[in-house]
């Protein structure tokens, strides 16, 4: 029996900000879930199961917070699963939820990811002391900066490419009412003049720390037929993992990312991603990861990704818009960031992306990664149901 | 085999929690020695008040005031309180259904001994002398022989005047300090590696299957999924494969900025380890730079790596290690 | 809305199970060093290599380890190269098995490796588990897991459904059964001991310890190739209850009951049940919710009262039930896993062996 097609019929996000002081953790997730249900015109009773994801529990200081969140998410009496695959978790969570529908275990599933970073401090959560290890760094920027340098060395990309990405994404964010950073006076010069934090990564090329949640309602063909708004259909989805560090690991273009994309394209029948995909929401926490992922995901030949960025192809008006929402560079509730990519891709093919809509988007890729560039989760969504 | 290493690991943070409207009203109420509940659509009164109905998932906002007296619905005698629990002397954990409420609140009961506690006993709140707007504003419950006073009263959740004076600010957040103590043990492979470091030797382990040498070793070859064991000394010299210049000072990290954080492929190792580069201006560090460790007395790890003075390694010799 | 009664598209079975010898401490082993041997055992039992596995899923907890992203290092033991299709739940491994089962049901994979591990020895597990509670009203009081279970036990006693002799009976039977389980941490006669938190005595509580477990799932014909007598998963479901203890009837486990109904547990009697009941009183609650009478062998492994490596103990229940089917000691078994304070969340799987395959 072929798998059941999966449709996205509801999407909800909170307005992402540095600190949501007006809500509890439950209030935050509830807001996104409620908006997703409203979008789908469904009630709590229509939901068969809840799949929730977030990054490390230490960020909020609550172990397995889904236990406490069951009431707020209408999960009482229902199945509730909690996924954690590091930074890719938002994407993985959506895929786990999608599989429940694809396997016909459930008809309609609520999936949600969140992070309320203001409860602690990401720097602390990411840098818990480990005895006997030499503390050399704090935070993720220093971890990824050497890989950016390796990319620049390998490709000969001009120094300015990173700032072009940051400028573009922050401009895109101005068109997205849910984005955290709305820097109305941003200029390319300001990006290029911002302090160098982890050379070659500048302050303006790094992601913020956000409180936010994102939710989606996934359903089967019957559910999609009742959807008040156009659904987004899942055409392919995959996860791939490789070890954190190993002899022969390519940190610049990890094999797991290539394999994951290839699997998704195979499922979706995509042979030329550059031509056949209309919009991409990729996980770019540091600006240089846009050209790096363009190559890793097969949109550009090795060493050529930066040329797409430099020539404006990835701009909102380019022919392969990347992160029309403003991306992780403008919004980063860590555990939710992957799901926001997936949801924004779905918004594009539903024609519901508002001011940051890519005209005529029919197929879009959502991408997330995490850990030491080792965990990947992606899906490809389309405006039409998949051919079965 | 060297001794297994262990060290204390403290995970501690004062979490700052915003409350949302219902929890804010409840904790503000406790500060003002008033217990609030919330009424559900079908008329039940939940104490402590939650934001969402546990049965229907509906949002709850209708506050009511209940009594500071109630009935124990179950209990458990704790003869050996743990350090962060509310009372230092033996006490009973209790679920208490306050008069006017339909559900029970988890807290502690101060009683002389287990024989003084039973399900169904009447108790009342003992308020903390200093109250800040937290669940611990209820210091504990205490036995109190009274008749049940069942009816809750409507409450708008605001406390315009208090015993202490007018216009009390609502409690909108709490700071929840949490400390957990662990004993960290890095395991066999890392213990061996650390023991060698104490002798200023850098020892990796070879995978019996792919023959790659891992340093620092973590006990398994991550690509083959088999145990490593054969110890191989590597370095001490190596090549900077890539790096970044760190310009922001991290809290709790006693390193002056700017400094260079580098990936260093030690001679003989099959992947790079991470270290700091010194003995050279930060802006002169480059990929391919040949370096060696510099050890300081009393430190387990090399303090940093410095240039050896050898010619830079050719890119092709280390590009596979990037 | 939900098609629970629809036949699943594929038959999926547990074809191999392995676990560590669970111990109070394992300081000489890192998590991956502890885990790797059980991964090797299930692979050897089936003749599979990592590269043959279609999907891998694990369960573990950062809070238990005291380290963020602790599961990333455990992946070293799998040999995830070339890259693998893989996921992780911050839950007991039983839920990792559930995720893998769903993945196989979609047809995207034919085999799955599921593993879970937990070291309780680095921290104080009673304190660590307090961090699971609602962070505004409950967690600031640091009510530990034994205290909460004791509140539940007293409720059971007050309801006249158990007394201390019944609790003692569960404890004694579990540890007696564990004498035949070489992996158990506590075996044979265990003194009742003092009250830990009254009414629970030391022997009513699980041992604290470290351990890991692994399972291989396979679909259809693949399962028959890999195992002489596969333990077919006839149904599996899990349900969660409200979080606060004060809104629940602690003497019942409605989520267990509902999960069992959805998993088809009541269609025919089971001969064996592996219940994840860390406390003696919880076994009594579960037996009532599952209508298990004396004809059912409950926890022949000794259950969580004999070894309770947190995050793996639920997966071990499924593994133990499956292993009895593999060995021909059971034809139809129920396996249960729990998570959260006082049985808040529960999973039930129904496993069967085929008569002609014995």
Domain-located, residue A98? yes
ipTM over 0.95: yes
CB contact under 8 A, B76 and C199: yes
Distance separating alpha carbons of residues A96 and A80, to the nearest angstrom: 11
Nearest CA in chain C to B209: C79
Which residues numbered 40-59 in A keep a CB inside 8 Å of some CB on B?
Answer: 44, 58
Which residues numbered 253-282 in C keep a CB inside 8 Å of some CB on B?
Answer: none
CB contact under 8 A, A247 and B214: yes
Kindly report the backbone phi and psi dihedral angles of residue C351, in degrees, each rounded to the nearest multiple of 5, phi listed first: -120, 145
Task: Tell me which residue of C176, C95, C152, C168 sits closest to C285, measured CA to CA.
Answer: C152
pLDDT of residue B146: 86
The overall average pLDDT reported for chain B is 94
How near does any CA of chain C get to the CA of A119, in Å?
Answer: 11
Whether residue A117 contacts residue A365, with contact meaning beta carbons closer than 8 Å, is answered with no
CATH of residue A24: 3.40.47.10
Q: Please give the full DSSP string across B109-121, using - where no structure is assigned.
A: E--SSGGG--TT-
| A·C CB contacts under 8 A | 190
Distance separating alpha carbons of residues C280 and C162, to the nearest angstrom: 10
Domain-located, residue A102? yes
* β-sheet bridge partners, residue C81: none
What does the pLDDT look like over A158-175, one tens digit per residue?
999 999 999 999 999 999
Q: What is the mean pLDDT of residues B76-87?
A: 97
Task: Give this prediction's pTM.
Answer: 0.97
R_g of chain C, CA atoms, integer Å? 19
Contact with chain B for residue A114, Cβ under 8 A: no
Distance separating alpha carbons of residues C261 and C257, to the nearest angstrom: 6
How near does any CA of chain C get to the CA of A190, in Å?
Answer: 35
CB contact under 8 A, C246 and B95: yes
Mutate to test the interface with C, among B36, B93, B105 (most CBs of C within 10 A): B93
* Tens of pLDDT, residue by residue, chain C (358 residues): 333 333 467 999 999 999 999 999 999 999 999 999 999 999 999 999 999 999 999 999 999 999 888 899 999 999 999 999 999 999 999 999 999 999 999 999 999 999 999 999 999 999 999 999 999 999 999 999 999 999 999 999 999 999 999 999 999 999 999 999 999 999 998 899 999 999 999 999 999 999 999 999 999 999 999 999 999 999 999 999 999 999 999 999 999 999 999 999 999 999 999 999 999 999 999 999 999 999 999 999 999 999 999 999 999 999 999 999 999 999 999 999 999 999 999 999 999 999 864 4
Distance separating alpha carbons of residues B231 and A97, to the nearest angstrom: 45
pLDDT > 80? residue A137: no
Task: Tell me which residue of A9, A30, A4 sits closest to A216, measured CA to CA.
Answer: A9
Look at chain A and report how many structural domains it folds into. 1
Domain-located, residue A302? no
What does the pLDDT look like over B288-311, one tens digit per residue?
999 999 999 989 999 999 999 999
> Which residues of C are less than 8 Å from B223 in CB distance?
79-81
Structural domains of chain B, ranges and CATH numbers in brackets: 9-177 (2.40.50.840), 187-321 (no CATH)
* Cα separation values, C216 from C19, C54, C110, Å: 12, 11, 11
Those chains having 3 or more beta-carbon pairs within 8 angstroms of chain C are: A, B
> Which residues of A are less than 8 Å from B176 in CB distance?
61
In chain B, count of helices (H) and strands (E)?
Answer: 3, 23
Q: What is the mean pLDDT of residues A302-327?
A: 98
> Which residues of C are less than 8 Å from A107 in CB distance?
1-3
Q: What is the mean pLDDT of residues A31-50?
A: 98
Contact with chain A for residue B223, Cβ under 8 A: yes
Domain-located, residue A175? no
Helix, strand or coil for residue B37? strand
CB contact under 8 A, A371 and C69: yes
* Between residues B156 and C284, the one the model is more confident about: C284
Residue in B54, B75, B135 nearest the CB of C137: B135
Distance separating alpha carbons of residues C224 and C202, to the nearest angstrom: 44
CB contact under 8 A, C83 and A128: no
Domain-located, residue A296? no
Beta strand pairing call for B238-246 and A196-199: antiparallel
The pLDDT confidence band at residue B167, using thresholds 50, 70 and 90, is low
Contact with chain B for residue A30, Cβ under 8 A: yes
* β-sheet bridge partners, residue A138: none
CB contact under 8 A, B190 and C30: yes
Which residues numbered 222-251 in A keep a CB inside 8 Å of some CB on B?
Answer: 243-251
Residue in B54, B244, B301 nearest the CB of A145: B244
Contact with chain A for residue B103, Cβ under 8 A: no
How near does any CA of chain C get to the CA of B318, in Å?
Answer: 21
Return the H-helix or E-strand segment holding C318.
helix C313-326
Judged by phi (left if over 0) then psi (alpha if -120 to 50, else beta), residue B298 lies in left
CB contact under 8 A, C151 and B23: no
pLDDT > 50? residue B259: yes
> Which residues of C are less than 8 Å from B27 in CB distance?
136
Q: What is the mean pLDDT of residues A236-252?
A: 96
How near does any CA of chain A get to the CA of C83, in Å?
Answer: 5
Residue in C3, C61, C254 nearest the CB of A107: C3
* Cα separation values, A331 from A147, A180, A336, A384, Å: 22, 5, 10, 29
Distance separating alpha carbons of residues C127 and C124, to the nearest angstrom: 5
pLDDT of residue A135: 80
CB contact under 8 A, B250 and A127: yes
pLDDT of residue B249: 83
CB contact under 8 A, C131 and A63: yes
The range of the structural domain enclosing residue A22 comes to 7-122+209-225
Return the H-helix or E-strand segment holding B43.
none
pLDDT of residue C4: 35
How near does any CA of chain B get to the CA of A266, in Å?
Answer: 25
How near does any CA of chain A get to the CA of B145, in Å?
Answer: 34
Structural domains of chain C, ranges and CATH numbers in brackets: 12-124+208-226 (3.40.47.10), 125-182+199-205+234-353 (3.40.47.10)
The pLDDT confidence band at residue A387, using thresholds 50, 70 and 90, is confident
Domain-located, residue A216? yes
CB contact under 8 A, A24 and B17: yes
Both structure tokens of C288: 């009532």
Count Cα atoms within 13 angstroms, Cβ side, for A337. 30
> Which residues of C are less than 8 Å from B6 in CB distance?
27
pLDDT of residue C357: 47
Nearest CA in chain B to C243: B54
Residue in B8, B263, B301 nearest the CB of A146: B263
Residue in A1, A48, A61 nearest the CB of C9: A1
pLDDT of residue A1: 73
pLDDT > 50? residue A41: yes
Alpha helices by DSSP H, chain A: 25-40, 66-69, 89-102, 122-126, 141-155, 161-173, 188-193, 221-225, 255-268, 273-276, 289-296, 305-310, 327-330, 334-350
Nearest CA in chain B to C29: B187
In chain A, % of residues over pLDDT 70: 99
Distance separating alpha carbons of residues C315 and C19, to the nearest angstrom: 10
CB contact under 8 A, B17 and C135: yes
How near does any CA of chain A get to the CA of B128, in Å?
Answer: 25
Domain-located, residue A42? yes
pLDDT of residue B1: 53
**Torsion over CA: A301, A302, A305, A311 (sign):** negative
Q: Give the list of residues 6+ apart from residue B123 with CB closer than 8 angstroms, or none.
A: B69, B70, B71, B72, B94, B96, B109, B141, B142, B143, B144
How near does any CA of chain B get to the CA of A330, in Å?
Answer: 21
pLDDT of residue C1: 33
Those chains having 3 or more beta-carbon pairs within 8 angstroms of chain A are: B, C
Find where tokens 């900077």 sit.
B240
Residue in A64, A103, A263 nearest the CB of C90: A64
pLDDT of residue C356: 63
pLDDT of residue C9: 78
pLDDT of residue B2: 58
Query: What is the crossing angle of helices C280-290 and C164-178, to 10°?
Result: 90
Nearest CA in chain B to C199: B76
Q: What is the mean pLDDT of residues A203-225?
A: 97
> Which residues of A are less than 8 Å from B241 in CB distance?
150
Domain-located, residue A110? yes
């Amino acid at each position: 029996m072929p798998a059941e097609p999966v449709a996205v019929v509801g999407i909800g996000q909170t307005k992402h900000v540095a600190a949501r002081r007006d809500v509890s953790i439950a209030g935050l997730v509830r807001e996104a879930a409620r908006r997703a249900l409203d979008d789908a015109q469904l009630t709590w009773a229509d939901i068969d199961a809840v799949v929730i994801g977030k990054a490390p529990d230490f960020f909020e200081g609550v172990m397995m917070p889904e236990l406490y969140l069951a009431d707020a998410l209408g999960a009482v009496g229902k199945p509730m699963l909690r996924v954690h695959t590091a930074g890719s978790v938002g994407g993985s969570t959506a895929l786990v939820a999608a599989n429940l529908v694809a396997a016909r275990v459930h008809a309609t599933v609520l999936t949600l990811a969140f992070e309320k970073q203001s409860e602690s401090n990401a720097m602390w959560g990411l840098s818990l002391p480990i005895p006997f290890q030499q503390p050399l760094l704090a935070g993720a920027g220093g971890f990824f900066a050497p890989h950016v340098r390796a990319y620049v060395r390998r490709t000969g990309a001009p120094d300015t490419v990173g700032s072009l990405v940051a400028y573009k994404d922050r401009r895109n964010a101005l068109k997205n009412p849910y984005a955290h950073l709305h820097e109305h006076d941003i200029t390319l010069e300001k990006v290029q003049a911002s302090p160098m934090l982890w050379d070659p990564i500048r302050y303006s090329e790094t992601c913020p720390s956000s409180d936010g949640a994102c939710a989606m309602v996934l359903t089967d063909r019957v559910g999609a037929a009742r959807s008040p708004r156009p659904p987004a259909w899942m055409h392919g989805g995959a996860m791939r993992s490789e070890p954190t560090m190993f002899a022969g690991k390519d940190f610049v273009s990890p094999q797991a990312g290539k394999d994951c994309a290839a699997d998704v394209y195979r499922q979706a029948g995509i042979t030329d991603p550059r031509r056949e995909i209309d919009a991409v929401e990729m996980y770019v926490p540091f600006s240089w990861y846009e050209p790096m992922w363009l190559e890793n995901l097969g949109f550009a030949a090795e060493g050529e990704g930066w040329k797409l960025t430099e020539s404006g192809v990835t701009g909102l008006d380019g022919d392969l818009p990347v992160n029309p929402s403003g991306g992780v560079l403008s919004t980063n509730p860590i555990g939710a960031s992957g799901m926001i990519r997936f949801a924004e891709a779905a918004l594009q093919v539903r024609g519901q992306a508002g001011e940051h809509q890519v005209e005529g988007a029919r197929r879009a890729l959502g991408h997330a990664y995490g850990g030491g560039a080792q965990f990947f989760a992606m899906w490809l969504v389309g405006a039409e149901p998949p051919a079965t | 085999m060297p001794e297994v290493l262990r060290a204390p690991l403290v995970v501690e943070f004062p979490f700052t929690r915003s409350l949302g409207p219902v929890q804010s009203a409840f904790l503000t109420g406790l500060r003002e020695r008033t217990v609030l509940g919330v009424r559900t659509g079908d008329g039940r009164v939940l104490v402590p008040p939650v934001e969402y109905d546990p049965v229907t998932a509906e949002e709850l906002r209708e506050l009511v005031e209940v009594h500071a007296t109630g009935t124990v619905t179950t209990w458990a005698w704790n003869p050996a309180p743990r350090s962060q629990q509310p009372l230092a002397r033996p006490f009973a954990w209790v679920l208490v259904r306050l008069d006017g409420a339909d559900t029970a609140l988890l807290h502690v009961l101060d009683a002389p001994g287990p024989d003084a506690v039973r399900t169904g006993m009447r108790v009342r709140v003992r308020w903390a002398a200093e109250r800040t707007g937290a669940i611990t504003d209820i210091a504990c419950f205490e036995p109190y022989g009274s008749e049940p006073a069942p009816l809750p009263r409507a409450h708008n959740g605001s406390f315009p005047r208090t015993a202490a004076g007018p216009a009390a600010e609502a409690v909108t957040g709490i700071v929840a300090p949490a400390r957990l103590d662990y004993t960290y043990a890095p395991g066999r492979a890392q213990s061996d590696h650390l023991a060698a470091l104490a002798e200023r030797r850098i020892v990796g382990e070879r995978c019996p299957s792919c023959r790659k040498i891992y340093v620092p070793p973590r006990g398994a070859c991550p690509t083959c999924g088999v145990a490593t064991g054969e110890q191989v000394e590597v370095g001490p010299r190596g090549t900077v494969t890539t790096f970044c210049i760190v310009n922001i000072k991290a809290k709790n990290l006693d390193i002056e900025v700017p400094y260079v954080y580098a990936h260093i492929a030690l001679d003989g190792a099959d992947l790079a380890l991470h270290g700091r580069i010194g003995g050279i201006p930060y802006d002169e560090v480059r990929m391919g730079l040949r370096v060696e460790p510099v050890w300081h007395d009393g430190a387990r790890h090399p303090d940093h790596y410095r240039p050896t003075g050898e010619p830079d390694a050719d890119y092709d010799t280390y590009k596979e290690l990037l | 809305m939900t098609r629970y009664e629809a036949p699943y598209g594929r038959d999926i079975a547990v074809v191999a199970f392995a676990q560590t010898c669970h111990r109070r401490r394992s300081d000489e082993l890192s998590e991956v060093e502890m885990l790797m041997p059980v991964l090797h055992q299930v692979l050897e039992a089936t003749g599979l290599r990592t590269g043959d596995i279609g999907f891998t899923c694990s369960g573990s907890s950062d809070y238990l380890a005291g380290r963020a992203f602790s599961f990333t290092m455990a992946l070293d033991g799998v040999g995830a190269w070339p890259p693998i299709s893989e996921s992780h739940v911050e839950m007991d491994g039983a839920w990792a098995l559930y995720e893998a089962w769903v993945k196989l049901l979609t047809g995207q994979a034919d085999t799955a490796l599921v593993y879970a591990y937990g070291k309780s020895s680095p921290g104080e597990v009673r304190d660590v588990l307090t961090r699971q509670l609602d962070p505004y009203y409950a967690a600031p009081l640091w009510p530990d897991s034994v205290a909460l279970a004791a509140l539940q036990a007293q409720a059971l006693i007050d309801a006249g459904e158990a007394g201390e002799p019944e609790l003692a009976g569960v404890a004694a039977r579990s540890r007696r059964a564990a004498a035949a389980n070489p992996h158990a941490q506590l075996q044979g006669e265990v003194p009742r001991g003092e009250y830990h938190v009254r009414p629970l005595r030391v022997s009513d509580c699980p041992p604290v310890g470290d351990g890991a477990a692994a399972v291989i799932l396979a679909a259809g014909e693949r399962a028959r190739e890999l195992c002489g007598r596969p333990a077919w998963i006839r149904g599996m479901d899990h349900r969660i209850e409200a979080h606060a203890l004060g809104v629940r009837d602690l003497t019942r486990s409605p989520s267990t009951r509902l999960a069992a109904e959805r998993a088809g547990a009541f269609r025919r009697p089971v001969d064996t049940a592996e219940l994840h009941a860390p406390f003696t009183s919880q076994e009594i609650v579960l037996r009532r919710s599952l209508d298990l009478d004396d004809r059912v062998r409950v926890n022949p492994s000794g259950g969580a009262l004999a070894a309770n490596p947190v995050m793996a103990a639920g997966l071990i229940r499924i593994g133990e039930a499956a292993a009895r089917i593999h060995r021909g000691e059971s034809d139809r078994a129920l396996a249960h896993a729990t998570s959260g304070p006082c049985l808040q969340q529960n999973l039930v799987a129904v496993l069967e062996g085929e008569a002609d395959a014995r």
